[in-house]
Amino acid sequence: MRSTVLGCAAGVASIVMAIGPTFAADPFAGTWVLDVARSSYSPGPAPAAVTVTTREIGNGKFDTIIDVTQQNGKVAHFEVNYANDGADYSIAGPMPGETASSRYVGAETIESTLKIDGKPIGTTTEVMAGDLNTLTSTTIGTTPNGTPIRNVQVYDRK
């Protein structure tokens, strides 16, 4: 279960950071729901559900709340206030010492790094679809015990 939460956390943290570029009318803000059927998790299992809600809070900053429901029904709750400026921001959630940073690598792509206690554990590339209604998040990394992670999460705008 911890590797599932960590794998989700890696993807979620980057979604957190990616859902907030500094556009006048931010197309990434809003509520996003994981399409479990179109997503893949290695190692699994996939979560039962993930909901990500992001809102602009001004001055290029964002507030994001993420709820990850595991297959056993337990919910992991994450919150972060951040900017997409490459700096590390603390993530409030079930894993102490978790931070994430993000930067733009193209008009519709953001790369994020998740760290635990300052050690990078995953990199996620977020790509927004042209219709602005689908966000695909690919995370590659490792759990703290060294298990490789490769998750592809597909989110639909709610």
How far is the C-alpha of 137 from the C-alpha of 39, rounded, in Å?
9
Running DSSP on this structure, what letter comes out for residue 92? B
Residue 39 DSSP SS3: coil
pLDDT band at 20 (very low <50, low <70, confident <90, very high): very low
> What is this structure's pTM?
0.84
Give the pLDDT score at 68.
97
Contact at 8 Å (CB) between 105 and 86?
A: no
31: left (phi over 0), alpha (psi -120 to 50) or beta: beta
Cβ contacts of 51 within 8 Å, gap of 6 or more = 31, 32, 33, 34, 66, 67, 158
pLDDT score recorded for residue 22: 40
- Per-residue pLDDT, averaged over 15-39, amounts to 71
Class of domain 2-157: mainly beta
Q: What is the pLDDT of residues 34-88, one digit of tens each?
A: 999 999 999 999 999 999 998 999 988 989 999 999 999 999 999 999 998 999 9
SS3 94: coil
Domain ranges of the chain: 2-157
The answer, yes or no, to whether residue 155 has pLDDT greater than 80, is yes
Q: Per DSSP, what are the bridge partners of residue 110?
A: 104, 126
Q: What's the token pair of residue 40?
A: 């893949």
